[in-house]
Amino acid sequence: MIKELENYIERLKRVAVAYSGGVDSTFLLAMSARVLGEEKVLAITIRSPLTPLWEVEFGAEFCRTRGIRHFLLDGSFILDDEQFTSNTTQRCYFCKKRILKVINAEIPPDVPLLTGTNASDQLDFRPGMRAEEEMKVKTPLLELGFTKDNIREYSKAYDIPGFDRPPCACFATRISYGEPITLEKLRTIEKAETFMRNLGLGLVRVRLIPKDIACIEVPKEDIKRIFDLRENISRQLGDIGFRRITLDLEGYKGGKRGF
């Protein structure tokens, strides 16, 4: 499987990688640099209110230490798109389409654009994958059948940092479909999740339910910790802007993109 990926990348000669700083795109970027050499690889990151700052910072540091050219582009434009902010079930399609257009404008037309979309993404509702098809970007991890587990295993084997980081979807997935996406809501969610992460909770979601209600999701094994810390959590999340704090007793489940 890894040899197939190396051959795939080698045939491309030069590549640009849409780089979020997450586990999947970090693996793809690292393998591209390993096969082609750092000078033939470009990483492009869109920094928007939808993306956690800690992932952007991880990505910037990874590129710096590996000697990979890295463009960091302002992504605030996405909040000007009413097709996205109206928060329909197709929000991911509109967002991904805009982002890919912006990235494509930054690279030469003969340089292929790669994304970290992979086989596991097919198990979720991912309208953004349609945008990738329409924009004709290349998705080697998907095409070659790499799952998220494969990516973590190979990342560990090739000493790629961050292979064991928890998944981190964009903050828009914390807002119920039909509820408008605003900068204020996204900032509130980011502040809340940053606070929770600083408590030592690696995988956590703070979902925004209408009327400023927070619903905390953590893996089942961390639910007791939430109860132990409930007074501190309630106080801090209240200061951030939530009126009520709730906990999902079923525990974290991936794939909730509009709950």
Residue range 152-197, pLDDT digits in tens: 999 999 999 999 998 888 999 999 999 999 999 999 999 999 999 9
pLDDT class for 86, splitting at 50, 70, 90? very high
Confidence at residue 258, expressed as pLDDT on a 0 to 100 scale:
59
Nearest one of 31, 50, 54, 49 to 41, comparing CA atoms: 31
> Between 126 and 24, whose confidence is greater?
24
How many Å separate Cα 102 from the centre of its chain?
17
pLDDT score of 257 more than 60: no
Helices 128-135 and 91-104 cross at an angle (nearest 10°) of 30
Distance CA 171, CA 49 (A): 8
**What does the pLDDT average to over 25-50?**
97
Closest of 59, 6, 1 to residue 36, by C-alpha: 6
The crossing angle, in degrees rounded to 10, of helices 230-240 and 183-198 is 150
- At residue 211 the predicted structure's pLDDT band, cuts being 50, 70 and 90, is confident
Q: What average pLDDT does range 43-59 have in this prediction?
A: 95
Whether the CA torsion 90, 91, 94, 97 is positive or negative: it is negative
Q: CA nearest 235: which of 204, 208, 202, 195?
A: 195
Determine if the pTM surpasses 0.85: yes
pLDDT at 25: 97
Placement of tokens 């991904």 in the chain: 96
233: enclosing H helix or E strand: helix 230-240
| Average pLDDT of the segment spanning 200-221 | 93
Q: What is the pLDDT of residue 80?
A: 95
The string of pLDDT tens digits covering residues 121-164 is: 888 888 999 999 999 999 999 999 999 999 999 999 999 999 99
Q: Following DSSP, what letter does each residue of 73-109 receive, concatenated?
A: EE-GGGGG-HHHHTT-TTHHHHHHHHHHHHHHTTS-T
**Token pair listed for 175:** 């807002």
Task: Find all residues with CB under 8 Å of 100, minimum gap 6, and list them.
Answer: 18, 113, 131, 132, 135, 137
Q: Which amino acid is at 103?
A: I
Q: What is the pLDDT of residue 253?
A: 79
- Straight-line distance from the first to the last Cα atom of the chain, in angstroms, rounded to the nearest whole number: 35
- Domains detected in the chain: 2-157 (3.40.50.620), 171-247 (3.30.1340)
Q: Pick the closest to residue 48 from 160, 170, 220 (CA basis).
A: 170
Question: pLDDT band at residue 259, thresholds of 50, 70 and 90?
Answer: low
Mean pLDDT, all residues of the chain = 94
Pure H helices in 67-218: 82-85, 91-104, 128-135, 140-143, 148-157, 183-198
Question: What pLDDT, on the 0 to 100 scale, is given for residue 168?
Answer: 83
pLDDT of residue 239 exceeding 90: yes
pLDDT at 136: 94
pLDDT band at 256 (very low <50, low <70, confident <90, very high): low
Over range 82-86, report the average pLDDT.
97
Instruction: Give the whole-number percent of the chain exceeding pLDDT 90.
Output: 90
Q: What is the mean pLDDT of residues 68-77?
A: 96
Show Cβ contacts of residue 69 under 8 Å, excluding neighbours closer than 6 positions: 38, 41, 42, 43, 63
pLDDT confidence of residue 46: 96
